[in-house]
Amino acid sequence: MREDIHNAVITWVDPPVEPGSGRLAGRTLLVKDLIDTEGVRTTCGSRIRGGCVPKRNAPAVQRLLDAGALLLGKANLPEFAWSVVGQNPWYGTVHNPLRPGRTTGGSSSGNAAALASGLCDLGLGTDTGCSIRLPSACCGTVGLKPRWGSIPTNGVYPLCPTLDTVGPMARTVEDVALMWSVLTGKAVPEPRLAGLRVGLLTRPPSVGDGRRAPANLAAETYVADLERLGAHVVPAMIPEPSADTWPLFFFEAAQSHRATFPARADEYGANCRTKLELAQQVRPDEAAEAYRAIEEWRRFEPPVDLYVSPTVGVELPPEDCDELEWRLPLTAFLRPVNLLGWAGLAIGDVQLIAPHNATVLSAGLAWERG
């Protein structure tokens, strides 16, 4: 067991003595403790599932292991992955190695902290509204929220299936692209920014609830480098959805927890319980309107090849902040990507957004290589 001063890991396992063979041979892997691992408990960061031991690996885990990755353990996360900061009432707060005292972001908190501190080489996380990209930005690492449906989510405890994704995390775009290739069976794309029309996104759309974030000019600092690498950068926007999409998130979260909430409400932490209480109040007609709006929004065809935005673009709050006060400011540029079903690649606080995985990975590789 390695020293874990950042509380990044819930459960450690002994990796095989002999490294496997394959494209990830010898690379150490930490899996978010929301994703099934054969014979290793999967707590979902909760009290309720603290003793759950799956009988098989989730397909995404199995593909990485088959490629030679060595499982080190299960990464800490907020309870049931429903938080934008790294707090957990049962397993403790994950600490930020890059910015001590500041949040790691959530919910793939342990993965990002472990990568930033050198505890592991690779991480497998999930992203429903921000959860791979936000911790990657907070901890200075790299994470891909893949296009919805492109990597199987079987064996991942659901939060909102219409938005849930599972994806790779690492310290470099190169390693994230390699993991994505293993997870999808597709070739690693060639680096490319030259000739791409890149949209500078300085004000993200809201999620249809009328609370649109103000303009944030942080991404303007990336323009000179993008143009030096051959991109044509233009101002761009993403239209607003036609209705409030929050009811869909709450409706599906309530369905995901219907076996244990409200029947076992007292076994949930205060933050998660508060959100699930709100979720019980969503009417079927509100959910139906949200589904319609998301289906319509996902038909939008962008006028650019790629968008660039900050991943976060605001000063990080303290690790003990009130999560309910920070969930919108920290995720303004992140949640719309899930609702659209697109791919989002966080390279620290640079976010590349496009409808397809290969586009953001290709651009990210070019950006990294400079």
Which residues are known to be catalytic? 32, 107, 131
Alpha-carbon span 103 to 78, nearest angstrom: 12
Backbone Cα Rg of the chain: 19
Distant-in-sequence contacts of 161-165, Cβ < 8 A, 24+ apart = 161/252, 161/256, 162/248, 162/252, 162/291, 162/294, 163/128, 163/129, 163/249, 163/252, 163/338, 163/339, 164/126, 164/127, 164/128, 165/126, 165/127, 165/128, 165/132, 165/338
Cα–Cα distances in Å, from 68 out to 75, 202, 204? 19, 41, 39
State the residue for tokens 């819930």.
Answer: 10
Alpha-carbon span 123 to 174, nearest angstrom: 14
Question: φ and ψ at 158, to 5 degrees?
Answer: -75, 150
Kindly state the greatest CA–CA separation across the chain.
58
Instruction: List the structure tokens of 369.
Output: 């290589």
Check if the beta carbon of residue 84 is closer than 8 Å to that of residue 327: yes
Quick one: three-class SS letters along 309-351? EECCCCCCCECCCCHHHHCCHHHCCCHHHHHHCCEEEEECCEE
Cα–Cα distances in Å, from 278 out to 249, 250, 267, 273, 332? 11, 8, 17, 9, 21
| CA 31 to mean position of chain CA atoms | 13
Alpha-carbon span 128 to 47, nearest angstrom: 21
Alpha-carbon span 155 to 167, nearest angstrom: 13
